[in-house]
Amino acid sequence: MDAIQKEHEKVWNSAKLSRTPGHVDDIIRSLQRARDAIAEDPNSRQITLAKLQNPVKTSFDGIFAGLKETHGQHNKYSKALDKIFKDKVPSNEIDALSAHPRLINRAIYLHLLREGLFDVASTLHSEAVERQRNQQETAAQLGLDVLMDHPLGLEKSAEESMQEQFSNMYHILSELKDNHNLQPAIEWARENAAALEARGSNLEFELCRLQFVNLFLDHRDEDRYEFDAPMRALQYAQVEFQSFRGRYLIEIQQLLGAIPFCSNLEESPYSIRFSNPTTWDEVATLFTREFCSLLELSADSPLYVAATAGAIALPTLLKLQTIQKQKRTEWTSQNELPVETPLPPSYQFHSIFVCPVSKEQTTDQNPPMMLPCCHVIAQESLQKLSKGSKFKCPYCPVESHPKEAMRVFL
Ligand SMILES: [Zn+2]
């Protein structure tokens, strides 16, 4: 992996240091100057063009040298990649997502927005629209009438508001993480207090608590006494903690209890509240989660989750592929695998239900159904057993009609 990282850095650095765009700009500038000169004085045409030759040639040489170097580095990079991944990546597998380019585009687009890469996101978007327009034109030329949905599966208004919301989130997050400025986050939490309250969120208090700690520890040059910073924190608490007294009284007492200990905080029982280095990250994560949940999105980027889960599961899948090749067997079930994928608990979003009758994993098309006796079997098993009329549960003596069964959501 180190070899890949090294080659990647080389390509990246040379892209940053490349003088090729400068050479291109030089050529454009010289051509524009020559054009203006000739337009001004048509008689100067010959001499102007003659003067143009040498500098343009030099710039072109520079461009070609740069391209050659870049090609060389790309080759080395591809070789480093091949060395590790060649023949190891499942190649003849069915690509389950190839039929859903819109889902992939959308996942990438939203990921870019979450990362604050707004211009890249907007380029991706306009290119997706452009490509679709070309496809539509080709279809129209062939006399086909094709009505296509939005390339990212988003309405125009939804997309604009999404972009605006994420730009706001990114601004608040960068103030919080880079500048340790909590004010924009606190203002956002207050604007959305009702929705956050409905979710039982403690975001606003966590932000204000961190603000208190921040003020408490913020000793400034102009301070005359060591109490000055804790006093600013106390003043802040007197104004801002009023509305939190009901729910967070113990936490507030602990924060204020630290004031008399300000000269030897480390030895006080409250030091843990003031010396947690991960606090800023924790608050940033909490803010992101709440912000995304109000947008009805998951806290982690689905693309990141999918890629990480894929990376974790890959060794198991490769092993499976090797065994299948050796034994010349094939697994034909489309919606399930013959092995467990070893994902950590945070990557398990819903339980899997295997029908006790058919021994098949349930799916959206064949969901788990609960009978009135509370036993659960798959819908297909239910249909086979009941044939549309009253039947006896396979696990207890209770009889019921298939209409009485209810779908179970896991
Ligand atoms: Zn039963």
DSSP result, 329-363 = -----SS--SS-----GGG--S---B-TTT-PBP-
In the prediction, which pLDDT does 113 show?
84
Q: Do 72 and 29 lie in a common domain? A: yes
Alpha carbon of 405 to ligand 1 centroid (Å): 11
> Does residue 92 lie within any of the structural domains?
no
Q: Do 353 and 407 lie in a common domain? A: yes
Q: What is the mean pLDDT of residues 187-215?
A: 92
Alpha carbon of 398 to ligand 1 centroid (Å): 6
Alpha carbon of 280 to ligand 1 centroid (Å): 52
Q: Do 140 and 265 lie in a common domain? A: no
Alpha carbon of 313 to ligand 1 centroid (Å): 36
The string of pLDDT tens digits covering residues 325-339 is: 888 777 666 666 777
Q: Do 105 and 177 lie in a common domain? A: no
Q: Do 25 and 79 lie in a common domain? A: yes
The answer to whether 300 touches 309, Cβ cutoff 8 Å, is no
Alpha carbon of 156 to ligand 1 centroid (Å): 50
Alpha carbon of 387 to ligand 1 centroid (Å): 17
Q: Quick one: pLDDT band at residue 93, thresholds 50, 70, 90?
A: low
The whole-angstrom separation of Cα 370 and Cα 368 is 7
Alpha carbon of 329 to ligand 1 centroid (Å): 37
Q: Do 119 and 177 lie in a common domain? A: no
> Does residue 80 lie within any of the structural domains?
yes
The whole-angstrom separation of Cα 123 and Cα 111 is 14
Alpha carbon of 354 to ligand 1 centroid (Å): 16
The whole-angstrom separation of Cα 151 and Cα 130 is 9
The string of pLDDT tens digits covering residues 163-173 is: 888 889 989 99
Q: Do 142 and 109 lie in a common domain? A: yes
Q: Do 113 and 175 lie in a common domain? A: no
Alpha carbon of 336 to ligand 1 centroid (Å): 26
Q: Could you list the residue range(s) of the whole structural domain that residue 231 is in? A: 161-294
Alpha carbon of 394 to ligand 1 centroid (Å): 7
> Does residue 302 lie within any of the structural domains?
no
Alpha carbon of 41 to ligand 1 centroid (Å): 98
Q: How many CB atoms lie within 10 A of CB 3?
A: 14
Rounded (10°) angle between helices 203-217 and 279-294: 150
Q: Do 169 and 290 lie in a common domain? A: yes
Alpha carbon of 323 to ligand 1 centroid (Å): 40
**Quick one: which of 21, 181, 10 has its CA closest to 79?**
10
**Domain limit, last residue, from 54, 85, 116:** 85
Alpha carbon of 392 to ligand 1 centroid (Å): 8
Alpha carbon of 369 to ligand 1 centroid (Å): 12
Alpha carbon of 359 to ligand 1 centroid (Å): 17
Determine the 3-state secondary structure of 387 from DSSP.
coil
Count of domains forming the chain? 4
> Does residue 124 lie within any of the structural domains?
yes
In the prediction, which pLDDT does 27 show?
93
Q: How many CB atoms lie within 10 A of CB 242?
A: 10
Pick the range with the lowest mean pLDDT from 111-125, 152-166, 170-184, 239-253: 152-166
The string of pLDDT tens digits covering residues 208-240 is: 999 999 998 888 888 888 788 889 999 999 999
Higher-scoring residue by pLDDT: 2, 285? 285
Q: Do 74 and 109 lie in a common domain? A: no
Tokens for 23? Answer: 């050479």
> Does residue 333 lie within any of the structural domains?
no
Alpha carbon of 372 to ligand 1 centroid (Å): 7
The whole-angstrom separation of Cα 326 and Cα 314 is 18
Alpha carbon of 379 to ligand 1 centroid (Å): 15
Alpha carbon of 368 to ligand 1 centroid (Å): 14
Q: What is the mean pLDDT of residues 173-200?
A: 92
Alpha carbon of 404 to ligand 1 centroid (Å): 12
> Does residue 305 lie within any of the structural domains?
no
Q: Quick one: pLDDT band at residue 149, thresholds 50, 70, 90?
A: low
Q: Do 119 and 206 lie in a common domain? A: no
Alpha carbon of 355 to ligand 1 centroid (Å): 13
> Does residue 335 lie within any of the structural domains?
no
The string of pLDDT tens digits covering residues 384-396 is: 999 889 999 999 9
Q: Do 187 and 245 lie in a common domain? A: yes
The whole-angstrom separation of Cα 190 and Cα 265 is 31
Q: What is the mean pLDDT of residues 188-197?
A: 93
Alpha carbon of 367 to ligand 1 centroid (Å): 17
Pick the range with the lowest mean pLDDT from 122-131, 178-187, 264-273: 264-273
Alpha carbon of 337 to ligand 1 centroid (Å): 29
Q: Which residue has the tokens 């380029």?
A: 123
> Does residue 286 lie within any of the structural domains?
yes
Alpha carbon of 385 to ligand 1 centroid (Å): 13
